Amino acid sequence: MIFADFAKAIEQLSDHRFQRVVLKGVGLSFALLAGIYFLILTVIQVFVPETLTLPWIGDITWASSALSFGSLALMMVLSVFLMIPVASAITSFFLDDVAEAVEDKYYPGLPPVRPMGLWEGAKDGLHFLGILIIGNLVALVASILLPFLAFAIFYGLNGYLLGREYFQLAAARRLGRKEAETLRKQNAWQIWMAGCLMAVPLSIPLLNLLIPVLGAATFTHLYHRLACR
């Protein structure tokens, strides 16, 4: 049944509302990461002088340039691990658009949901962003320390994080936070498995940028299937 939910989400990728959310998430993610890099460069330029004098070494005229290039390399490495969680978190701001498109097509006749306020959406998005970034940084460190478990750590942790957050966001639209959390705990194993399925395309370039929309759509289907049992 999980694969059927995922297949329905893939079939609906041609929906213009899905595509609009993908473009928003990716565009804003690149803008955010570029902004972070610009901030790092600004700090380097303000606090690191062009010429740095060190004892026994003398004047170093390339310190600022070295730090700038080093920060670029570091940002490129980090972006590999942060692009997906950042895009996922930003896309959570637009979850209603994806869920509404799914429900319009597959679950017509449902009563309208309470629109999510700007502050509520921002709070959920920031919460999602924090959890995913911290989780992926922990996974990165754990994979370096335990390279033979790297794949298990990556897919297991991201499966849990994606399943937990996407199901909570999808279910809370119609149940409220507390009831959504109760339903999630009652179906933790199935939700984790669905999250692991979402985590598989994370290692495929370009396709991984579709995970936020596919995740939101898949877990909207999963919620309705579990709620109707």
Q: Which two tokens stand for residue 42?
A: 């600004």
DSSP track, the chain: -HHHHHHHHHHGGGSHHHHHHHHHHHHHHHHHHHHHHHHHHHHHHHHS-SSEEETTTEEESSHHHHHHHHHHHHHHHHHHHHHHHHHHHHHGGGHHHHHHHHHHHHSTTPPPPPPPPHHHHHHHHHHHHHHHHHHHHHHHHHHHH-GGGHHHHHHHHHHHHHHHHHHHHHHHHHH-HHHHHHHHHHTHHHHHHHHHHHHGGGGSTTGGGGHHHHHHHHHHHHHHHHHT-
Beta strands, E only, the chain: 52-54, 58-60
Tens-digit pLDDT profile for residues 3-30: 898 899 989 988 988 888 888 877 777 7
Number of residues assigned to the chain: 229
Q: What are phi and psi of 205, to 5 degrees?
A: -55, 145
Buried b or exposed e, range 21-51, using 16+ CB within 10 angstroms: bbebbbebbeebbeebbeebbeebeeeeeee
Residue 214 confidence (pLDDT) above 90? no
Predicted confidence band of residue 194 (pLDDT cuts 50, 70, 90): very high
Q: How much is the pLDDT for 106?
A: 93
Higher pLDDT among residues 163 and 61, named by residue:
163
187 has pLDDT over 90: yes
- On whether the pTM is more than 0.85, the answer is no
pLDDT band of residue 68 (cuts 50, 70, 90) is low
pLDDT digits (tens, 9 = 90+) for 129-178: 677 777 777 877 887 888 888 888 888 888 888 888 889 888 888 888 88
Question: 């939101």: which residue's tokens?
Answer: 216
Q: Is 110 helix (H, G, I), strand (E, B) or coil?
A: coil
The CA-based diameter of the chain, rounded to the nearest angstrom, is 78
